Amino acid sequence: MTTLVEPHGGVLKELYLPEAEALAARRASGALPSVVLDHRHLCDLELLLDGAFSPLDGFMREADYDAVVDGLRLADGTLWPMPIVLDVSEDAAASLLVGQDIVLRDGQGTALALLTLSDIFRPDKAREALQVYGTLDVHHPGVADLLKRGGVYLGGRVHGLQRLAHHDFVDLRTSPRQMRAYLANQEWERIVAFQTRNPLHRAHVELTQRAMAAVDGKLLLHPVVGRTRDGDIDTYTRVRCYRALVKHYPAKAVKLSVLPLAMRMAGPREALWHAIIRKNFGANFFIVGRDHAGPGKDVSGRPFYEARAAQALVQAHADELGITVLPFAPMVYSAVRQAYVATDELHPGETASDVSGTELRKYLRDGSPIPAWFTYPEVEAILRERFPHAANRGCAVFFTGLSGAGKSTLAQALMASLLENTGRQVSLLDGDEVRQTLSAGLGFSRADRSANIRRIAYVAAEIVRHGGMAICAPIAPYADDRAVARALVEVHGDFIEVHVSTPLDVCEARDAKGLYAQARSGALKHFTGISDPYETPDSPELRLDGSEQSPAFLAARIVEMLRERGLLG
């Protein structure tokens, strides 16, 4: 019989109740308090219930949370690097009591699990950010997410009532127990796991084949289909690419399975976490790159994590972890050798080529050929189908500026010009109209302003996804919200930020409603430019002063930019 590596902690936890008990609990769940889970919670719950997070038996209690944050260990000393917590708002926590059973539901109200509440605690999020992510910088996506989440953590054992429903990639969704049974049946004993959140190209295939050859093993290709990073290529496109390139490996040497993980982009700690998860699936080798699960660079251009820091942390715990780390340098293409070479194998003076994500998106956007050495024809075809040439791709023109700057007038002029002179499908999301419909009921607090922009961005992204053009004209005073809007749209097409930079005194002079006067007198609270800040965009695609030229003239400048980018044919 094939002997697989032991699950982390020695026992593979499966946390579902027997069917009869689960049915009775579902029927009785209407009388219990509930918590509705967001997408990250749902990913964590599924991996808890299936045993991918073994030895955890639920969302972390305070003692485990503290031990993990401060020392990468559970309270009993077991190695574990990432907090797995159920965060809720103060209002949601106010009526809850330790000892209660709480129903965990999805957004449709389906009862998925019971949480026996053992701990209610309020974390020090600054401490968590520094210890887990190594920074308080809100430009780190993990830190930004942490700081905006609920301020109360609920801990306790979970009992599954039913499996989460998935309608996509059903044949690729394999639990740890199912995976272990498959590996044993195939008599695979040396299994290399590869974590990915991006489409694979020739360099990745070369890297994984080298890893397989190094240990005489098979490959578990285990891409993340939960939450990755804003701006990543969508899950469906990525998985289509994985399926297309499996044929480039030796026959019966690769198992493709998707993982519903919500990534945190926590670099070294996340690399260790990923290794533990793959160990629970039965892998005994794990590939770790130089910047594994890194979020890129901060605003100064420095990486959030040092090169090889992830490899060093996982290797430091290799004996205790019980899974062998395969550290690899990035692969680049040597034209002289006509082959892929690891960067640490390059000869002195040898030049090498690579295609960055930014360059790849440019190739896709402008229709120029992708180098044949970079990717496979079938992968390129899938990417081009998903990201068509600019003239056939959706885009959003996103105006931002003070009240009275002329955003709405300019948006209307742009829309008229496009409808009159092109065949593009155009939708206008004006700030005032959105406030009366899509965002009815929202006020002007920071949270409500953010919710308003995110709603606009969501609708704009859907328009862009279907090849249309969205013109958005909110005030959008906060840089973070504009960045979120950009990330949502750029998954599907182009985002053109236009800062309407009309001076404040001109905006006030135009104000027929007297809003600025009311704000200056204190009668109107939270008014942008007076009692609330406006964060000027650092590098918009276009900056226009609405007081210098006519709306038609300024709209023509935007049309010219769209033509230069190939977005109007």
What are the catalytic residues? 196-198
Cβ atoms of 61 and 156 closer than 8 Å: yes
Task: With beta carbons less than 8 A apart as the criterion, state whether 275 and 321 touch.
Answer: yes
Tally of CB atoms within 10 A around 351: 11
Residue 152: CB partners within 8 Å, gap ≥ 6? 87, 88, 89, 90, 92, 93, 120, 121, 122
Task: Confirm if 401 and 500 have CB atoms less than 8 A apart.
Answer: yes
Could you please report the per-residue DSSP string of 491-560? Answer: TTSEEEEEEE---HHHHHHH-TT-HHHHHHHTSS-S-BTTTB-----SS-SEEE-TTTS-HHHHHHHHHH
**C-alpha to C-alpha distance for 267 and 290, rounded to whole angstroms:** 10
Ligand-binding site membership of 473 (annotated): no
CA torsion angle for 363, 364, 367, 368 (degrees, to 10)? 20
CA atoms within 13 A on the CB side of 560: 7
Find out whether 247 is annotated in a ligand binding site: no
On whether 401 is known to bind a ligand per the annotation, the reply is: yes
Please name the amino acid found at residue 244.
A
Is 408 annotated as belonging to a binding site? yes
Q: Are 230 and 39 in contact (CB under 8 A)?
A: no
Alpha-carbon span 48 to 155, nearest angstrom: 13
> Would you list the DSSP string of 479-494?
HHHHHHHHHHHHTTSE
**What is the distance between the alpha carbons of residues 111 and 403, in angstroms, rounded to a whole number?**
45
Would you call the peptide bond into 330 cis, given omega within 30 degrees of 0 as the criterion? no
CA separation (Å) from 267 to 55, 65, 132, 333, 534?
A: 22, 19, 9, 26, 33
Q: Which residue in 370, 380, 429, 397 sits closest to 499, CA to CA?
A: 397
List strands edge to edge, sheet with 324-327: 254-256, 218-223, 191-196, 285-288, 324-327
134-143, Cβ contacts within 8 angstroms, sequence gap of 24 or more: 134/267, 134/304, 134/305, 135/298, 135/304, 137/298, 137/299, 137/304, 138/480, 139/298, 139/299, 140/265, 140/295, 140/298, 140/304, 141/229, 141/230, 141/265, 141/295, 142/264, 142/265, 142/266, 142/295
CA distance 359 to 219: 29
Contact 190, 216 (CB under 8 A): yes
DSSP 165: P
Q: Establish whether 406 is an annotated binding residue.
A: yes
Q: Is 427 annotated as a binding residue?
A: no
SS3 469: strand
- Cα torsion angle, 175, 68, 84, 121, sign: positive
403 known member of a binding site: yes
Q: Is 125 annotated among the ligand-binding residues? A: no
**Which segments are annotated as binding site?**
401-408
Binding site residue list for ATP: 401-408
